[in-house]
Structure 1
Amino acid sequence: MKLGILDQSHIGEGRTAADALAETTRLAQHAEQLGYSRFWMSEHHASAALAHSSPEIMIAHVAAATSRIRVGSGGVMLPHYSTYKVAENFRLLEALHPGRIDLGLGRAPGGMPLATRALQEDKHVDIRKYPEQVADLRGYLVEGLPASHPFAKLEISPAIDTAPEIWLLGSSDESARIAALQGTGYAFAQFFGTPGGMEAIRYYREHFRPSAACGLPRTMAAVLAICADTEEEANLLAMSTDLFFLRLESGLPLNDLPSVKTAVDYPYTEYDMLRIKHARQRRIVGTPAQVKEQLEALAADYSADELLIVSPIHEMEARLKSYRLIAEAFGLHASVPGGDK
């Protein structure tokens, strides 16, 4: 089973967005050295706590700072944008880093309504056209557009012989249906806590239609996992994540990823603790042996070919160590190439 990383560039309490972006680059280099197969970065807008607003720019930066690991978006929120422009961006990234670029696509807004309105200013957006946008991207990047398409004669530059891998990201069965019909890879955001992931992946596999972009079904699950030498230490590190998502779900201001000290000192109510206990059920926290066992079980339950590990840990050194311990538990090797086409 291959392991990758999904990075959201959390801005740690006491640090800046520039610090977070530098940490993202360092983590990608660390991941490559450890043998992780791919490194994806998310898209979030108008967020004081997250630094990734343009995954395309971060892909260019991170791919240039590494040499083997696949680098991609987790994901580009396609309804905001011109499909043609997204195709151009990723064709150029693929030309710069052949065989290493992933185009993960989502249809969520990636921010609050005000940011969505600004992104879509003077543009009519119909979310029902998302499948059509995905089909157009496949046409632009891999298969060519149908002769009846209004842009069939349009050239996508630069002209190259390879193409990015196309994945649909989702937390519902609707994205699985689209991915199966379109013949793309499918990644389920298990860490969101949305139920139905196993059923969505099962549907995808059973109804997959091969395409020039993807000949066989490919599945991933994105999982929040935190690993340390002891269970006690891992649970302590995870408190930053507990408080971050508690604030998010409560509609409280999100200015950063809180430190462990802030999380420990927070005045939790009894109801807060019940919510945290419930949320922990979908997260994997523990020693290397515990984390490996639970990740393997989750991958089996979800029929996932690969897992993307999300590890929001405030202290950077502890975060790097968490990924190292997981890599060692699974016997990853730095010689693993960038991934399969």
Structure 2
Amino acid sequence: MKKIKLGILDQSIIARQDTAVDAIRRTSALVKLADELGYTRFWVSEHHNFPKIAGSTPEVLIAHLAGEAKRIRVGSGGIMLPNHSALKMAENFRMLETLFPGRIDLGIGRAPGGDRQTASLLNPSNTFNDQEFLQQLKDLRSWLTDHKNGEGNYDNIIAIPQAETVPEMWILSSSGGSGYFAAHLGMSLSFAHFINPNGGPEAVQQYRQHFRPSELLKTPQVNVGIFGFTSEKQEEIDRWLAEMDFRMLWIETGARGEYPTFEEIKEIEYTPAHLARIEYNRKRMLYGTPDQMKAKLLQIAEDYDTDEIILSTFADDFEAVKNSVTICANLF
């Protein structure tokens, strides 16, 4: 059997009738559990202007979470680099690497992490231009490695503190485009199957074919992120799936206000368009009993030719999340 490494992506969702404080406490408890269970890495995300997601500043949250755990790698999944100064991100992650040597991941995305207006306010100079993003990546890598690659624009500027180790740099991609950036710059690639369930294995194959070794990475490194949930009880699986079906539609339509109860969700009559979208969204998820989940995890690893999977579990019931995380760890 293929040896699988598992990681967790946590967005610090705010459960029904909870607060942001509750959400961050859940994230803190989850990283401790993941550390104890032997998970490889724990990532937190950057989202803006989503009232039901507390995770807006991974660079701040990582410092707390890495201190809460003992062994597990902690990082961003991801930092939306066009929202920020590349130099400031280099300094942030050099400080994190100084605090927790060899345990920090810098996962980088180019999406807004929200709407375009919010992104423009976060960084008024953001043009959403691919070439500028590529230059940001080069500058960031140059500052993190003290200009060893010779591609940065500012050889006279040093990112402080000068840590002895460098964070692992991952490009997050939900299409083929960012995979080429990762290949060209010699960075690791994380494909977000939970965003786009189509074309991932092909994008990963292209990344491997075009990979160029760098100071940071000598051979290609890939993981795949996907929504996942398992339980010994079929009724818990059915409940999670019904809530995820609605939650995805709710997020995609920009809904605000309080999240409905499971009883309210059960009474919803979906339109044919909604049902078609639900069918598509289920391709972004792995779910089932432990035996079913094990087979699906092995299949996704086979499809992507990787031994590492990052699981994201949206659920209001935190006990169900912890049970699912524990089962998945024990499967491998």
| Counterpart for residue 316 of structure 1 | 318
TM-superposed deviation, 1:273: 3.1
Q: Which moved more, 1:27-36 or 1:191-200?
A: 191-200
| Counterpart for residue 100 of structure 1 | 103
TM-superposed deviation, 1:121: 2.5
| Counterpart for residue 172 of structure 1 | 175
The answer to whether the Cα contact below 8 Å between 1:240 and 1:258 also exists between their aligned partners in 2 is: no
| Counterpart for residue 272 of structure 1 | 274
User: What amino acid maps onto 1:279 in structure 2?
Assistant: N
How many residues align? The count is: 329
TM-score (norm 2): 0.94
Q: In the alignment, does 2:30 pair up with 1:27? A: yes
| Counterpart for residue 196 of structure 1 | 199
Runs of at least 5 residues in structure 1 that lack an aligned partner in the other structure:
331-341
The answer to whether the Cα contact below 8 Å between 2:82 and 2:126 also exists between their aligned partners in 1 is: no
The verdict on how the C-alpha distance between 1:154 and 1:252 changes in structure 2, with shifts beyond 3 A counting, is closer
TM-superposed deviation, 1:257: 5.6
User: What amino acid maps onto 2:175 in structure 1?
Assistant: S
| Counterpart for residue 217 of structure 2 | 214
| Counterpart for residue 134 of structure 1 | 137
The verdict on how the C-alpha distance between 1:237 and 1:154 changes in structure 2, with shifts beyond 3 A counting, is same
TM-superposed deviation, 1:109: 0.4
| Counterpart for residue 304 of structure 1 | 306
Measured in 1, the distance between the counterparts of 2:148 and 2:82 equals 19
The answer to whether the Cα contact below 8 Å between 1:240 and 1:314 also exists between their aligned partners in 2 is: no
| Counterpart for residue 228 of structure 1 | 231
State the secondary structure of the residue aligned to 1:115.
helix
Measured in 1, the distance between the counterparts of 2:292 and 2:272 equals 28
The answer to whether the Cα contact below 8 Å between 2:45 and 2:77 also exists between their aligned partners in 1 is: yes
Q: Which moved more, 1:294-303 or 1:191-200?
A: 191-200
Measured in 2, the distance between the counterparts of 1:256 and 1:28 equals 27
**Aligned-pair Cα RMSD in Å:** 1.8
Report which structure shows greater RCO (CA 8 Å, sep ≥6). 1
User: What amino acid maps onto 1:57 in structure 2?
Assistant: V
| Counterpart for residue 39 of structure 2 | 36
User: What amino acid maps onto 1:188 in structure 2?
Assistant: F
Runs of at least 5 residues in structure 2 that lack an aligned partner in the other structure:
none
Q: Which moved more, 1:269-278 or 1:131-140?
A: 269-278
Q: What does 1:128-167 correspond to in 2, within 5 Å?
A: 128-142=131-145, 144=147, 149-167=152-170
| Counterpart for residue 251 of structure 2 | 248
TM-superposed deviation, 1:123: 5.8
The answer to whether the Cα contact below 8 Å between 1:135 and 1:182 also exists between their aligned partners in 2 is: yes
TM-superposed deviation, 1:122: 5.5
TM-superposed deviation, 1:181: 0.6
TM-score (norm 1): 0.91
State the secondary structure of the residue aligned to 1:210.
coil
State the secondary structure of the residue aligned to 2:291.
helix
Measured in 2, the distance between the counterparts of 1:147 and 1:273 equals 52
The verdict on how the C-alpha distance between 1:200 and 1:150 changes in structure 2, with shifts beyond 3 A counting, is closer
